[in-house]
Amino acid sequence: MAVHAACKRFGQQLGGVQGPGLTRFGAVSSVSRRRQLDCREMSQLVKSNGRRLFLVDTLALVRRLEAQGVPSQQAEAITAAVTDVLNDSLENVSQSFVSKPEMQKVEMAQESNLSKFKSEVQNSQGHHFSLLQHETEKLRNDIDKMRSELRYEVDKVNAGQRRIREELSNQSAETSSLTNKLDREIHALRAQLEAAKYDVIKYCIGSLVSISAVGLAVIRILM
């Protein structure tokens, strides 16, 4: 938009220039385009609209226009218009791009943000690592506690099993002792029964003999 306005203003300023002047200006413009690489010296510093400063060799341009037959006022108007166009173009370009100090400022801000982000990440990592260590230590303590409780329960079960084995062994010994005692008593009873049987038999035989003798004696008396 700035370039368009400058070109429009340049056309308005050239509106008062006569036809031959315009023809000469076209020739001068062609010569200026061919020789613009050779024109390196800057004669003065021109201020553009109070916004930027642009280096342009206006005096040399006016002298060349006058050398081509362009009137002095028209040469100055053409030079002013060209200067405005160049300044507006430079202003447009400067607005389109970022300056080096601004780039450095942005880079410094980005580096600061990056450093801050790295610091936050490191702090977060340290915090999470400490939490992880704390949780790991707590879990290790819980595992050790559970292991101790499990070992205690296992020892308790083993002690109970040993006690049961001892009780079973004692009961087995008592059962064996009772069995042996019963066997001895049974054998003693059998021996006593055998002895009593023999005594009964002897008693019966003696009784029969006595009865027989008494009977025979009675029979003899009666006869």
Predicted pLDDT at 53: 52
CB-based contact 43:52 (threshold 8 Å): no
Which residue do the tokens 């001068």 mark?
28
Which residue do the tokens 């790295």 mark?
118
CB-based contact 46:88 (threshold 8 Å): no
In sequence order, what E strands does the chain have?
Answer: 44-48, 52-56
> Per the structure block, which two tokens stand in for 72?
């002095």
Q: Give me Rg for the CA atoms of the chain.
A: 69
> Per the structure block, which two tokens stand in for 199?
């005594």
Label the pairing between strands 44-48 and 52-56: antiparallel
Mark the ranges of the chain whose per-residue pLDDT is less than 70: 1-56, 98
Predicted pLDDT at 98: 65
Angle at 86 between CA 85 and CA 91, to 5 degrees: 100
Q: Which ranges constitute the DSSP H helices of 2-71?
A: 2-13, 19-35, 58-67
Which residue do the tokens 């450093």 mark?
115
